Amino acid sequence: MSTSRYAAVIFDLDGVITDTARYHYLAWKRLADGEGVHFDEAANEHLKGIDRMGSLELILASATRAYSDAEKLALATEKNEHYKELIATMSPADLLPGAVAALDTCRAAGLKIGLASVSRNAFTVLDRLGITDKFDYIVDAGTIAKGKPDPEIFLKAARELGVAPGDCFGVEDAVAGVASIKSAGMYAIGVGDPAVLTEADQVIPDLAAFRIP
């Protein structure tokens, strides 16, 4: 069993356990090109950790015309349909280095394991990766009112796991995600660049370097 002071861990999905960022980029790029809006890899970086409608707002901010709520909803739906076509090709081969070992380490230590992803396709992705059963609770992004950096998604995960926020730690690759963890009163492990994830309590390059704090 664990010698850690923590009782639960809550993982982000995209960029931590698997990398669907490329699929998101391709789907957003096609939409932006269709609307005549400039969008590139650099602009895509600003969408990390942001939900679908928030990402669409950022992309359309440079558009030459205004969009109605109905038009925005239609565009977001179009993007999501293309994204779903792309992720349908995913398999366990798309798991990032150390992901399964990290989950198994947490399970062996007796920690409860949650998933806090703003992706409304998280269940589909987990199924394609073959790891749905490794989580005790998966937050349905459709049931939360506020996306990251608001702490709602991590607080909901902790509540459903039956663990106080202060007894949880979170694992995130995005600035908004780390901010969400910290706002929830949890210890934050960042995955990526320490110069970017400055609010994290510790930063690791990937889950191959994961250790329970």
Q: Is 133 annotated as a binding residue?
A: no
Q: Is 48 annotated as a binding residue?
A: yes
Q: Is 50 annotated as a binding residue?
A: yes
Task: Say if residue 135's pLDDT is above 90.
Answer: yes
Q: Is 79 annotated as a binding residue?
A: yes
**Mean pLDDT within 26-45:** 94
Both tokens of residue 97? Answer: 């280095």
Alpha-carbon distance 17 to 66, whole Å? 37
Confidence of residue 2 (pLDDT cuts 50, 70, 90): low
Tell me, yes or no, if 136 is annotated catalytic. no
Model confidence pLDDT, tens digit, residues 38-53: 999 999 988 877 888 9
Task: Say if residue 195's pLDDT is above 60.
Answer: yes
Tell me, yes or no, if 14 is annotated catalytic. yes
Both tokens of residue 43? Answer: 């602009």
Q: Is 47 annotated as a binding residue?
A: yes
Burial of 67 (0-12, 13-18, 19+ CB in 10 A): middle
- Count of C-beta atoms within a 10 Å radius of residue 171: 25
Catalytic residue among 12, 140, 150, 193: 12
Alpha-carbon distance 204 to 36, whole Å? 38
**Mean pLDDT within 91-102:** 97
Q: Are strands 137-138 and 168-172 parallel, antiparallel or unpaired?
A: unpaired
pTM of the model: 0.85
Question: Which domains, and CATH codes, for the chain?
Answer: 8-19+94-209 (3.40.50.1000), 21-87 (1.10.150.240)
Q: Is 52 annotated as a binding residue?
A: yes
